[in-house]
């Protein structure tokens, strides 16, 4: 059996509680139409991996083969988002490979069981893959000094909230072409450890929870784009201040120059996905998004990639050949 998995990237709107005053990794996330992770697989006598990100994909495929006693698979990674740029590319690659390999062997493995087999801790990336739309991952309890990312047994957050995201609402993604990669694995573990070595900014963390529960989610459910944009910007600035000790600025230093451009673009809200460097402008229609994109492109003059996206409300697509 031959299978293709097409998984949406996600925007990560910020871990509200890296100090685990409540739950580490409590975070809103949104599946978006582009970019995508595309993986094909078919059953085989041994493991063969080609295409993009071969070495990493091979690790995930091998873990799945061992976990479910499968003989082999031919895996091809056809496309991935820009790596370590705020799109959740590592989680989506991991899950897409795992789903493709098991499905190629005609296995319908529950996603949480698959995540455990893949040994991938997630602060919410599995929910855009599974369901699409807008979700809030509930984080997990973390003891002082406990590692989060480099673990044999992954941490999996509960799903607190999930909603269809309005079809007309749009994000204009802006990624600086010259920027260091955002931290991943060891570097991310080091960044969180350095952050937690300082005093927890309890007031900011509590404010983040408040903005999410009392402003952002009601605005989404009421389909109030203006209120959603205001709350989104307020949340992003609050989260940025929480991470400022390790990020240096409220936004990624490589993207800081883009923030004034987004602020004067006519956007209803702005923010940064995860560690960045991808930042974005939010608006309520394709026409408004096109206008914003044109203004941003005129000001950035080829120094940034500008992409218009909507929400993916379906999650990963599975095609069987």
Q: How far apart are the first and last CA of the chain?
A: 7
Residue 98 to residue 222: CA distance in whole angstroms:
36
Coil, helix or strand at residue 78: strand
In this structure, are 194 and 135 located in the same domain?
A: no
Q: Average pLDDT by consecutive 10-residue portion of the chain (321 residues)?
A: 96 92 93 98 97 97 97 97 93 96 96 89 86 96 74 83 98 94 78 88 98 98 98 98 94 96 98 96 98 98 97 97 88
Q: Give this prediction's pTM.
A: 0.94
- Last residue in a domain, options 164, 192, 211: 164
Sign of CA dihedral 191, 197, 201, 206: positive
Q: Is 2 exposed, middle or buried (0-12, 13-18, 19+ CB in 10 A)?
A: middle
- For the chain, strand residue ranges (E) read 2-12, 24-43, 47-51, 73-79, 134-140, 159-163, 170-176, 269-272, 279-283, 304-309, 317-320
Of 164, 182, 206, the position where a domain reaches its end is 164
The reply to whether 193 falls in a domain is: yes
- Whether residue 217 is found in the same domain as residue 153: no
**Whether 23 and 159 share a structural domain:** yes
Number of domains in the chain: 2
Q: Does 21 share its domain with 142?
A: yes
- Which CATH number fits the domain that encloses residue 275? 3.30.70.890
The candidate with the shortest Cα–Cα distance to 279, out of 260, 294, 298, 295, is: 260
- 116 in a domain, yes or no? yes
Domain around 295: 170-309
Peptide bond into 35 cis (omega under 30): yes
In a domain, 25, yes or no: yes
CB-CB contact of 306 with 25 (8 Å): no
Do residues 73 and 53 both lie within one domain? yes
Q: What integer pLDDT is reported at residue 149 of this predicted model?
A: 65
Same domain, 145 and 236: no
- Clarify whether residues 187 and 237 are in a common domain: yes
Examine the domain organization and report whether 247 and 272 are in the same domain: yes
Do 141 and 284 fall into the same domain? no
Is 318 a domain residue? no
Q: Are both 160 and 175 inside the same structural domain?
A: no
Same domain, 201 and 264: yes
What CA–CA distance (Å, rounded) separates 34 from 201? 34
Same domain, 281 and 132: no
């Amino acid at each position: 059996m031959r299978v293709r998995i097409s998984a949406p990237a996600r925007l990560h709107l910020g871990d509200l509680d890296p100090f685990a005053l409540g739950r580490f990794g409590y975070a809103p996330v949104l599946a978006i139409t582009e970019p995508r992770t595309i993986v094909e697989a078919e059953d085989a006598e041994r493991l063969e991996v080609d295409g993009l990100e071969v070495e990493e994909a091979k690790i995930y495929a091998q873990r799945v083969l061992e976990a479910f006693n499968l003989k082999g698979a031919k895996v091809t990674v056809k496309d991935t988002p820009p790596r370590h740029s705020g799109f959740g590319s590592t989680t989506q690659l991991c899950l897409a490979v795992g789903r493709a390999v098991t499905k190629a062997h005609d296995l319908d493995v529950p996603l949480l069981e698959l995540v455990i087999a893949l040994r991938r801790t997630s602060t919410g990336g599995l929910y855009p893959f599974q369901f699409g739309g807008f979700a809030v991952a509930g984080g997990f309890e973390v003891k002082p000094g406990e590692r989060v990312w480099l673990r044999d047994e992954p941490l999996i957050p509960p799903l607190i909230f999930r909603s269809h995201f309005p079809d007309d609402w749009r994000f204009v993604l802006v990624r600086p072409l010259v920027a260091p990669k955002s931290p991943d694995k060891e570097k991310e573990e080091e960044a969180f450890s350095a952050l937690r070595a300082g005093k927890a900014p309890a007031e900011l963390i509590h404010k983040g929870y408040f903005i999410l529960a009392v402003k952002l989610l009601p605005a989404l459910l009421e389909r109030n784009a203006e209120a959603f944009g205001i709350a989104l910007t307020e949340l992003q600035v609050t989260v940025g201040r929480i991470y400022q000790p390790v990020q240096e600025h409220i936004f990624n230093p490589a993207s800081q120059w883009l923030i004034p451009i987004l602020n004067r673009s006519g956007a209803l809200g702005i923010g940064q996905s995860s560690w960045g460097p991808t930042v974005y402008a939010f608006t309520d229609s394709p026409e408004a998004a096109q206008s914003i994109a044109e203004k941003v492109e005129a000001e950035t003059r080829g120094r940034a990639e500008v992409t218009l996206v909507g929400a993916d409300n379906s999650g990963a697509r599975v095609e069987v050949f």
